[in-house]
Structure 1
Amino acid sequence: MNKTNNRTILVAGATGYLGRFVVAELHQRGFKVRAITRNRERAESLGPWGAPSLDGLVDDWAIGEVTNSEFIANVAEGVDDVISTLGVTKQKANPWDIDYKANLSILHSSEKHGVKNFCFVNVIEGNKCPAQLTRAKTAFAQELVSSQISSQIINPPGYFSDMTQILQMARKGRVFLFSPKTIINPIHGADLAKFCIDRLLDGNKGSWNVGGPEVFTWQELAECAFQALGRPVRVATISPAVLPPIIGILRLFNKRMADTMRFVSWSMIHDCVGKSFGTHRLLNFYKDIVKKSDY
């Protein structure tokens, strides 16, 4: 593809679910893309849940560990803008090492090399959730706001990929919920990528809560999953009161898993709704997964 824009954009977290869609959207719009990854071969393979391969979409590979300060020090040299979707998901890494420190190192490199805009994907109501994951993200967002660089902080309630947990439970026969009437509007990676890039190109400093075009109760999410599977709805409700002791016990054996459970369960008992954006429908996403037998 012939590049129609001389602007170079650095993408951190490029091999994650959202990061892959960000790279694909930037490439489609004609921008030059520098992507940070630990493994180019993995990056050029297909991503999870319909996320694209980065093969042929990246102009400049920055291959290394984001926790390596020497590698990150000049990673932003020669780029105009940064989009970071970087964060701990299922890795064993400490969120403070990735979501906070690694992003902060990229920010320092950006300041050093005169980057114009830094777009960071945070999480909606992250300052209220007690999980270390969201506290680390919130702490970095505060550092970013204090920077002289124009910052765009994007706060989604959750990705479509996160909702695969509901589909997985449905496939096993029953979905367990803590608060069936709590609402959320998860967003597809392709839609969120477009929103992030649009805000970055606007160049205005700010923070935006954004979700997909459909608002669901968690009960409706479960019903959507069972509909995609063509099975009768089977939902069980668990009292949120069981969460503190369960998380406390789990923390004795696996702190990261306990923190992940704290984050996920908090999202399931608090309304998480951003401004509606995009066109992708969750039922279609579920049906595609079922059809492709990703599980």
Structure 2
Amino acid sequence: MTILVTGATGHVGRHVVAELLRAGESVRALTRRPDTAGLPAGAQVVQGDLERPGTLPDALAGVEKMFLFPVLEAAEEVVDLAVRAGVRRIVVLSSAAVTAGWDTEYHLPVERAVEASGLEWTHVRPGEFAVNSLYMWGPSIRADRTVVEPFPDRAGTPVHEWDIAEVVATALVEDGHVGTAHTLSGPRTLTAREQVAAIAEALGEQIRLDETTVDRARAFYHAQGGWAAANADFLLGYEDYSGVECVPDEDRSGVGSIADEDRSGVDHVPGEPSGEERTASRDAQGTITADAVTGRPPRPYTTWARDHAADFR
């Protein structure tokens, strides 16, 4: 049995490849640039692009199960190719924003395309990716050990990308998750101030938290460029999840968050408790931590910070 991992060099896909190999599975990893993929030995690395479905038939040949990174524009065509290739099961990387009812335009249509195919399906819907911290704060931490933050007491429940990957791998290998949407969070709700403190501890150095206005933060992150500039308006409340212009609320303690590399997550599902350790794998809203699927303790943000300490140096 061969499992195809799309988005194989992404934050989640790379770990999905590793987890499946660890489980003894035959893994085919799809990437646009096989020569620079740097994936674990044992994976069959093949070239292909989800935005160009015509590049996929060879990669799909002989595949029984598939991890699908969401690319909205080509989703229906990619799923149709999977059906014709004989794929039996698809696990979708989706978003907790679907569960919250915010996402009707990005991930929900991908989920629906997979469900309409008649194949076995599981949707994994992470909330806030812990790695967002690296994209948003990494440049200024590396430059002068500073974080610019207008909402230092904003509450989130960041999830380690490796926990997401373990849930995906479990859903691919085991049969008990078919027809299920797993809305996933980290094990503890933390403020931005607490997240900065965890990164500082992992570095063994002080990080100055520059508490500022939302307008100044917006200007700072636009000037910073890259991921932060692309997502600052959403993260700081100048636009909603669908990109509609808003007026930011200087007093609010939480805003939406982006998962992986596009608008694909939320800070936390409304109603989730803040400022405390989660005491159960599944809360009243149906949000779970990774252990509910994998049986292994979920990784706290402090572990994520240690895992990425070198990226902040």
Do the two structures share a fold, i.e. TM-score over 0.5?
yes
For 2:137 and 2:229, locate their aligned partners in 1 and report how far apart those are by CA, in whole Å: 19
For 1:181 and 1:66, locate their aligned partners in 2 and report how far apart those are by CA, in whole Å: 38
For 2:14 and 2:111, locate their aligned partners in 1 and report how far apart those are by CA, in whole Å: 22
- Contact 1:37/1:64 (<8 A) preserved: yes
Alignment-derived partner of residue 287 in structure 1:
306
1, 16, 24: which one pairs with 1:30? 24
Alignment-derived partner of residue 232 in structure 2:
261
- Contact 1:178/1:269 (<8 A) preserved: no
Offset at 1:205? 0.7
For 1:259 and 1:143, locate their aligned partners in 2 and report how far apart those are by CA, in whole Å: 28
For 2:133 and 2:226, locate their aligned partners in 1 and report how far apart those are by CA, in whole Å: 23
Q: Does 1:70 align with 2:54?
A: yes
Offset at 1:286? 2.3
Describe how 1:124-163 pairs up with structure 2 within 5 A: 124-126=96-98, 135-163=105-133
Q: Does 1:61 align with 2:38?
A: no
Offset at 1:257? 7.3
Q: How many aligned residue pairs are there?
A: 257
Q: Does 1:213 align with 2:209?
A: no
- Contact 2:235/2:255 (<8 A) preserved: no
For 2:227 and 2:132, locate their aligned partners in 1 and report how far apart those are by CA, in whole Å: 17
Give the aligned residue type for 2:12: L
Q: Does 1:21 align with 2:15?
A: yes
The SS at the match of 1:176 is strand
Describe how 1:163-182 pairs up with structure 2 within 5 A: 163-164=133-134, 165-171=136-142, 172-182=144-154
Q: Does 1:9 align with 2:3?
A: yes
For 1:255 and 1:25, locate their aligned partners in 2 and report how far apart those are by CA, in whole Å: 30
Alignment-derived partner of residue 196 in structure 2:
222
Alignment-derived partner of residue 289 in structure 2:
276
Offset at 1:140? 1.6
Deviates more, 1:15-24 or 1:257-266: 257-266
Task: Report which structure shows greater RCO (CA 8 Å, sep ≥6).
Answer: 2
Give the aligned residue type for 2:6: A
Taking structure 1 as reference, are residues 109 and 269 closer, same or farther at Cα in structure 2, changes over 3 Å only?
same
Q: TM-score, normalising length from structure 1?
A: 0.73
Alignment-derived partner of residue 67 in structure 2:
83
Offset at 1:80? 1.0
175, 185, 188: which one pairs with 2:157? 185
- Contact 2:148/2:210 (<8 A) preserved: yes
Offset at 1:23? 0.5
Offset at 1:35? 1.3
- Contact 1:184/1:217 (<8 A) preserved: yes
Instruction: Please report the RMSD computed on the Cα atoms of aligned residues, expressed in angstroms.
Output: 3.3
For 1:289 and 1:61, locate their aligned partners in 2 and report how far apart those are by CA, in whole Å: 25
For 1:275 and 1:228, locate their aligned partners in 2 and report how far apart those are by CA, in whole Å: 26
Give the aligned residue type for 2:10: G
Offset at 1:64? 2.6
For 1:11 and 1:199, locate their aligned partners in 2 and report how far apart those are by CA, in whole Å: 13
- Contact 2:94/2:126 (<8 A) preserved: yes
- Contact 2:65/2:87 (<8 A) preserved: yes
Offset at 1:62? 2.7
For 1:223 and 1:166, locate their aligned partners in 2 and report how far apart those are by CA, in whole Å: 12
Unmatched tracts of structure 1, length 5 or more: 1-6, 46-52, 88-98
The SS at the match of 2:153 is coil
The SS at the match of 1:153 is strand
Identical columns (%): 20
